[in-house]
Structure formats: C-alpha cells, structure tokens
Structure 1
C-alpha cells in the first residue's frame, strides 16, 4: 500500500460556513464544490478536508444524519505556535482552548469552526529542551 494523500471527511450542518472558516483563517483553497459538498486542500502537508452536508444522499443511510463531533483536526507546526495563536486571535477567531503546555512537552491551543469542528494546533518541545 502506498498512500499518496490523507483526507478527513466531515459531515456538517452548514458546508459554506465551514468552507469559509477553513479558507479564510487556515489557508485552505477550494478544489471542488457542489450543493452540500466542498473539497479543500493546502499546498503543505496538511490533510485535505471534504465537507459534506448532513443528510446528503451520497452518504450511506446510516451515516446521513451524523455530524462531525468528538474529533479533533490537529495540525503540528514546526515553530511559530505563539505567532499563529496571535494571528488567529487578531483575526477575530475565538480561541476555544487557550495556549498551554503539557508536562510531556506538547504545546497546544484550539479553535472551533462554526459547525463545532475542533481544530488544534500543536508544537512539540525539542528533546532535552527545558520544560517550564
């Protein structure tokens, strides 16, 4: 098996709202769109995102009324976590989990899109780096 890309498919109530959020604040661009559907990507290693409207008939019947919940879309950054948090805050994005550092060396914060999709930004401390 050779995986060439990774995509997460999120079922949401308002595709346009999530699409605007990801393109406006997170640098995604639309690859394709139709009624109840949007495919988004970035030029870096971030996973692609497909947004599907809850109830859309392309989903199997047992999945149509589900919505994205209980998951976190996490992006690992190579430095610049503080700058990214400030950029998003300055752009009016609500920081739904403030920047913090865990004892195991993970620094992170979270934002949430209009449909409740949690997006987490993570930066790992370099091994041997002093953990404050």
Structure 2
C-alpha cells in the first residue's frame, strides 16, 4: 500500500466543548459540523476532527491510553507573530516561540485542553541545506 494523502486527523479528547472552542477560537479553524460526540473543522483537503475519548472504543475496539503529549498537530499560518499576539490576547500559554527554525519555519507551540501539542508554523527561508 502507498498512502497518497491524509484524509483525516482525529484527536480523542476529554472535553469536546473545550477542545472545539480551542480549535475554533485560538487556532481559528472554521467549524464544519457537530454530531454525537464529534466535531469537525475545515482545513483544506484534510479533515480535522475531535472525538470524545469515551466514544473512541467504538472506532478502535479499546479505550485510548492516557499519558502526556504523544505528538503534535501543525497548522501553517501566514503570520506567526500576528497569531502570537492574538493568542496572548486570549490568554493562551505558549510552550515555545515564536522562533525561527533552520528547516524553514517560524514556529509557535502551545497545548490544547487535552495536552496535545499544537504548532503554528509560517514558512520562511531555510537556514540549513537539505540532506539525503
């Protein structure tokens, strides 16, 4: 099998209302739909969804494991500094940034209500050449 595109990214969340508000208000994703413990947002070609953790076993046959952040979701934005200013106004706490990265992104990291790492990234010129 060769995967040709990402169809969905779904995060299993404890509090659907709090998480939906975070991705709508802090990240700025347009809300698409809500149905039985699920919320979905418009993100271009890839669907981004939130599913209540208590309903995850219906999909995967077991309860999702607890623990700290096990990954991150990256959203490309036009202006990371403008987003940082807007998020400060909302009282959102940053993990890091905004900072220029050598691989060609200016990044800002924060946590969503369930502890998932959210990265906002703006494309900038690369500081390091590609290898490989």
Common topology (TM > 0.5): yes
Residue of structure 2 in register with 1:88 after alignment: 87
Cα shift at 1:2 = 7.1
Residue of structure 1 in register with 2:16 after alignment: 15
| Unpaired runs of at least 5, structure 2 | 128-132
Q: Is the 8 A contact 1:81 1:122 kept in 2?
A: yes
Cα shift at 1:46 = 7.4
Residue of structure 2 in register with 1:40 after alignment: 41
Cα shift at 1:88 = 1.0
Q: Is the 8 A contact 1:77 1:123 kept in 2?
A: yes
For residues 77-119 of structure 1, the C-alpha deviation after alignment (integer angstroms, 9 at most, x for no partner) is 34x2211111111221111222122334432111111111211
Q: How many residues align?
A: 123
Name the CA distance, whole Å, in 1 between partners of 2:29 and 2:105. 25
Q: Is the 8 A contact 1:54 1:66 kept in 2?
A: no
| Unpaired runs of at least 5, structure 1 | none
Please show how residues 1-132 of structure 1 align to structure 2 within 5 Å: 6-42=7-43, 45=44, 47-56=46-55, 57-62=57-62, 64-66=63-65, 69-78=69-78, 80-126=79-125
Cα shift at 1:49 = 1.5
CA RMSD of aligned residues (A): 2.6
Using the size of structure 1 for normalisation, the TM-score is 0.75
For residues 46-84 of structure 1, the C-alpha deviation after alignment (integer angstroms, 9 at most, x for no partner) is 74321111131431223x323693111112234x22111
Cα shift at 1:18 = 0.5
